[in-house]
Amino acid sequence: MTLGEAKKRVLQLLDESRPKADLTGKFNLFLDMGQKEVALYYPIYRVKEYAADSPRALPEDFYRGCQVVAEGNWFPYDATAALPAGAFALRYEARPADIPENAADSMVLDLPEEAAPAVIFYAAAQCNSMEYDQRFF
Q: What is the pLDDT of residues 68-126, one digit of tens each?
A: 999 889 999 998 888 888 899 999 999 999 999 999 999 999 999 999 999 999 999 98
pTM for this prediction = 0.81
Q: 22: pLDDT confidence band, cut at 50, 70 and 90? A: confident
Separation in Å, CA 27 to CA 17, 18, 106: 16, 16, 14
Whole-angstrom Cα distance, residue 41 to residue 118? 11
The bridge status of strand 88-94 relative to strand 44-50 is antiparallel
Alpha helices in the chain (DSSP H): 3-17, 27-41, 116-131
What pLDDT does residue 98 have? Answer: 94
Whole-angstrom Cα distance, residue 74 to residue 66? 10
Share of the chain above pLDDT 70, in %: 91
